[in-house]
C-alpha cells in the first residue's frame, strides 16, 4: 500500500508556499501537480478518490485519509444481521485504490482543516496540503437526543448505524434473547442515514427470530409518524411475520422519554417497555470534522449542487451523508453519485478537463424477507439552490413473488458492482 | 419470462450478436464516459449476478435497448427511470463509449 511520509508533505508545503503569489491560477496552469485530499473512505470518499485518480491518469496526486484499514459497509449490514451474508462479506480494504490507481491511503483521523492554509491536520500531528479537499466523513450521532443513551453505554443497546463491530454485537444480542423475549427498536428522527434502514433492520431481525425464536416480539418506538416504503414494509411484515412486529408512532407513544440502560427499560407516555435486546439509533449530524472545518450550518453542510462545493469554502467539496443534498436521501448510492459529480468538477478545476452538466441518481433496495426485495429510486439534477428530482419510482404493494425475487437479486448484483466501483 | 431474463436475452441478441441492422453512433465518447459513471454503479466490466455487463456492447444494440427502456417497452423501473431522462445525444454518447470497452471474459 502506498503511503506518503512526512518528507513528502514537507516538500509539498514548501512548493505551495513558493508559488503563493500565483495561487489564483489553477494548479495545472502553474505547472505543478495538483493535490486532492479526501477525508473519509466510504461510498463518497472512496469513490471520489478512485475516480479522480483513475480519470486524471496520474495528473492529480490523490490522498485518502481513513482511520479504518477495513471498511464495513452500512448498506447490506442488515443482510448480515438477517443471516443472509457473513460479516466479512461486507468488509472491504483500500488495497485496490492504492495498487490500481496510485491513491495514497493514510490510515489516520483527520482532526482539523485550515481552509486558509489549505491543509488537513491528522491525528498524528502531520499536516497534509491540498489544492482541493473532499470531505466525506458520513454521520456522527447526537447521543444526547435520547435521554439515558450515551456513548459510554451504547453497546448495551447498539445503534449499529456506522456498521462494523456494533452490528456484530447487535446480532449476538438478538441471537441470545430469551425465548419469547422482546426486541425494541428506536429509529432516529429525520433526517438520517438510510431512510428505509431501520425498517429493513426490523425485517431482518424478524427474519431471524421467526426461525429461531418465533414467539419473540418486536416493538418499534418511532419518533416519526411515517417512514420510507411504509406501505411495502407494513404489507411485508403482515405477510411474513404476522403478530410479531408492533410499530408505534410518537403520536401514540408520546415518544421515548427516558432509557434506563441498567434495567433495559424504555419509558414512554403509554407504557414502559422492558427490552431483552434493543437497538437505539439517535438523531444524527454531519461527521465532526465538518464542524471543525467550519462547513456546517446547523447539523449539516450546505453545498453548491452543480459541483458539491461547500457553501463555506470553494476549495472544499462535501459529499454523501454530511451534505445537504436536499431531495436526495442519505444513502451509499447517493454518496457514490455525489462523488462522480465532484470528481468531474475537481478534475475540471485542476487539470482543465471537460465539465458536463451534473446528474445524480439513487436507488435504495430493501429486503423484507428472503427473496422479498423492494426498491425506491430517482434521478436528480443540480438546480441553482438545491438538488432537484427529475423522475422517481417505488415498488408497488402486491407485486408478484418473481418480481420481488428479481429485485432482491438485483440488489445483490448492485452490491457487488458498487463496492467494485468504490474499492477496485 | 421474468424481467431480468428478458433483459439478459435482449442484451445478448441486440448487443453482442449484432442482430439489428447496423446504426453508426456518432456520440461523443468523452461525454459518454461521464454519463457512464451512473451506469457502472450497477454495470461493472464483469457480470455481477443478474445485472448484465454492457461493456463492449455494440452501439446499435445499446441504442435500441435504451430507447426500449425509455419508452417503457422493456420493464425494470430502475432502467426506465435511468433511460427516461436520456436524450438521443446522451444515448449515442453512451453507446459510443461502451462500444470502445472490452466485453467481459
pLDDT of residue B104: 84
Q: Tell me what the mean pLDDT of segment B37-43 comes to.
A: 95
Query: Tens of pLDDT along A305-355?
Result: 999 999 999 999 999 999 999 999 999 999 999 999 999 999 999 999 999
In order along chain A (424 residues), what is the average pLDDT of each group of 10 residues?
38 39 56 94 98 96 98 98 97 98 98 98 97 98 97 96 96 98 98 98 98 98 97 98 97 97 97 98 98 97 98 98 96 98 97 95 97 97 96 97 97 97 97
Q: What is the DSSP letter of B10?
A: H
Q: Say yes or no: B44 contacts chain A, CB-CB below 8 A.
A: yes
User: What local confidence, expressed as pLDDT, does residue A27 receive?
Assistant: 59
C-alpha cell at A93: 480494504
Q: What is the pLDDT of residue A290?
A: 98
pLDDT of residue A10: 36
* Domains of chain A, residue spans: 6-138+287-356, 146-282
ipTM at complex level: 0.85
Contacts of B35 in chain A (CB under 8 A): 356, 359
Of the candidates A312, A308, A271, A267, the one whose C-alpha atom is nearest the C-alpha of residue A294 is A312
Beta carbons within 10 angstroms of residue A88's beta carbon? 10
Instruction: Of A121, A118, A126, A130, give the one whose Cα is nearest residue A38.
Output: A130
Partner residue opposite B78 with nearest CB, options A377, A409, A420 = A377
User: How would you write A153-208 as a 3-class SS string?
Assistant: CCCCCCCCCCCCHHHHHHHHHHHCCCCCCEEEEECCCCCCCCCCHHHHHHHHHHHH
The reply to whether residue B42 touches residue A378, judged by beta carbons under 8 angstroms, is no
Q: Which carries the bigger pLDDT value, residue A241 or residue B28?
A: A241
**Which has the closest alpha carbon to B42: A412, A358, A73?**
A412
pLDDT of the residue at A342: 98
Taking the Cβ of residue A25 and every Cβ of chain B, the question of whether any pair is shorter than 8 Å is answered with no
Residue B14 has pLDDT above 50, yes or no: no
The pair phi, psi for residue A342, each rounded to 5°, is -65, -40
A82 DSSP 8-state letter: T
What confidence category does residue B84 fall into, taking pLDDT thresholds of 50, 70 and 90?
Answer: very high
d(CA B86, CA B92): 10
The beta strands (E) that lie in A297-383 are given as: 303-304, 309-310, 316-318, 359-369, 372-382
Burial of A402 (0-12, 13-18, 19+ CB in 10 A): middle
Q: Higher-confidence residue: A111 or B13?
A: A111
**Distance between alpha carbon A376 and the CA centroid of its chain, in Å?**
17
Using pLDDT thresholds of 50, 70 and 90, give the confidence band for residue B105: confident
Residue A30: what pLDDT? 67
| Mean pLDDT score of chain B | 81
Q: DSSP class of residue A300?
A: B
Q: How many CB atoms lie within 10 A of CB A20?
A: 7
The architecture CATH gives domain B3-99: Orthogonal Bundle (1.10)
Q: Is the pLDDT of residue B12 over 50?
A: no
Contacts of A55 in chain B (CB under 8 A): 33
For chain B, the domains span 3-99
Distances (CA, A) of A86 to A89, A313, B20: 6, 41, 44
CATH superfamily of A146-282: FAD/NAD(P)-binding domain (3.50.50.60)
Query: What is the pLDDT averaged over residues B96-104?
Result: 92
B44-71 pLDDT, tens digit per residue, is: 988 888 999 999 999 999 999 999 999 9
pLDDT of residue B20: 37
Q: How many Cα atoms within 13 Å fall on the side-chain side of residue A191? A: 20
In whole angstroms, what is the distance from residue A23 CA to residue A326 CA?
33
Among all chains, which residue has been given the C-alpha cell 501537480? A33
Q: Note the pLDDT of residue B46.
A: 87
**Which residues from B are below 8 Å from A333, CB to CB?**
41
Beta bridge partners of A240: none
A412 touches chain B (CB under 8 A): yes
| In CATH, A6-138+287-356 is 3.50.50.60 | yes
- CB-nearest to A51 from B3, B31, B37 is B37
* Of A377, A413, A421, Cβ closest to residue B49: A413
Position A25 scores a pLDDT of: 59
CB count in 10 Å sphere of residue B15 = 25
| 3-state class (DSSP) for residue A408 | helix
Amino acid at each position: 500500500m502506498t503511503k506518503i511520509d512526512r518528507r513528502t508533505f514537507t516538500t509539498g508545503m514548501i512548493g505551495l508556499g513558493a508559488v503563493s503569489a500565483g495561487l489564483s491560477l489553477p494548479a495545472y496552469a502553474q505547472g505543478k501537480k495538483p493535490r486532492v485530499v479526501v477525508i473519509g473512505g466510504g461510498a463518497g470518499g472512496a469513490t471520489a478518490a478512485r475516480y479522480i485518480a483513475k480519470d486524471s491518469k496520474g495528473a492529480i496526486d490523490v490522498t485518502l485519509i481513513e482511520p479504518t484499514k477495513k471498511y464495513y459497509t452500512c448498506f447490506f449490514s442488515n443482510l448480515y444481521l438477517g443471516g443472509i451474508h457473513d460479516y466479512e462479506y461486507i468488509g472491504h480494504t483500500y488495497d485496490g485504490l492504492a495498487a490500481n490507481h496510485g491513491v495514497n491511503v493514510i490510515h489516520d483521523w483527520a482532526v482539523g482543516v485550515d481552509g486558509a492554509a489549505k491543509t488537513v491536520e491528522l491525528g498524528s500531528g502531520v499536516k497534509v496540503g491540498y489544492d482541493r479537499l473532499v470531505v466525506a466523513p458520513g454521520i456522527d450521532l447526537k447521543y444526547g437526543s435520547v435521554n439515558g443513551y450515551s456513548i459510554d453505554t451504547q453497546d448495551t443497546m447498539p445503534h449499529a448505524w456506522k456498521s462494523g463491530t456494533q452490528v456484530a454485537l447487535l446480532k449476538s444480542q438478538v441471537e441470545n434473547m430469551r425465548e419469547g423475549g422482546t426486541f425494541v427498536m428506536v429509529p432516529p428522527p429525520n433526517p438520517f442515514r438510510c431512510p428505509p434502514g431501520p425498517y429493513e433492520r426490523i425485517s431482518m431481525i424478524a427474519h431471524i427470530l421467526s426461525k429461531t425464536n418465533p414467539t419473540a416480539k418486536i416493538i418499534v418506538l418511532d419518533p416519526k409518524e411515517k417512514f420510507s416504503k411504509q406501505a411495502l414494509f407494513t404489507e411485508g411484515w403482515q405477510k411474513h411475520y404476522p403478530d410479531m412486529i408492533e410499530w408505534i408512532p410518537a403520536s401514540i407513544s408520546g415518544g421515548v422519554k427516558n432509557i434506563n440502560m441498567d434495567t433495559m427499560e424504555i419509558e414512554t407516555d403509554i407504557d414502559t417497555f422492558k427490552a431483552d435486546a434493543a437497538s437505539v439509533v439517535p438523531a444524527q449530524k454531519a461527521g465532526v470534522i465538518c464542524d471543525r472545518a467550519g462547513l456546517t450550518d446547523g447539523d449539516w453542510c450546505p453545498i453548491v449542487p452543480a459541483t458539491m462545493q461547500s457553501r463555506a469554502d470553494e476549495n472544499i467539496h462535501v459529499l454523501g451523508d454530511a451534505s445537504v443534498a436536499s431531495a436526495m436521501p442519505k444513502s451509499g448510492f447517493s454518496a457514490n453519485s455525489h462523488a462522480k459529480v465532484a470528481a468531474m468538477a475537481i478534475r475540471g478545476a485542476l487539470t482543465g478537463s471537460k465539465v458536463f452538466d451534473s446528474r445524480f441518481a439513487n436507488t435504495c433496495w430493501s429486503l423484507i424477507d428472503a427473496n422479498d426485495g423492494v426498491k425506491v429510486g430517482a434521478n436528480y439534477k443540480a438546480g441553482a439552490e438545491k438538488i432537484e428530482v427529475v423522475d422517481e419510482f417505488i415498488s408497488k404493494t402486491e407485486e408478484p413473488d418473481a418480481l420481488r425475487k428479481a429485485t432482491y437479486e438485483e440488489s445483490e448484483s448492485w452490491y457487488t458492482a458498487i463496492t467494485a466501483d468504490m474499492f477496485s | 419470462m421474468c424481467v431480468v431474463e428478458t433483459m439478459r436475452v435482449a442484451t445478448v441478441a441486440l448487443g453482442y450478436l449484432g442482430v439489428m441492422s447496423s446504426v453508426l453512433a456518432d456520440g461523443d465518447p468523452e461525454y459518454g464516459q461521464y454519463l457512464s459513471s451512473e451506469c457502472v454503479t450497477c454495470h461493472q466490466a464483469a457480470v455481477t449476478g443478474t445485472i448484465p455487463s454492457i461493456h463492449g456492447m455494440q452501439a446499435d444494440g445499446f441504442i435500441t435497448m435504451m430507447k426500449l427502456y425509455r419508452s417503457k417497452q422493456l420493464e425494470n423501473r430502475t432502467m426506465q427511470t435511468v433511460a427516461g431522462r436520456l436524450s438521443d445525444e446522451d444515448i449515442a454518447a453512451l453507446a459510443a463509449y461502451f462500444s470502445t470497452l472490452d466485453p467481459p471474459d
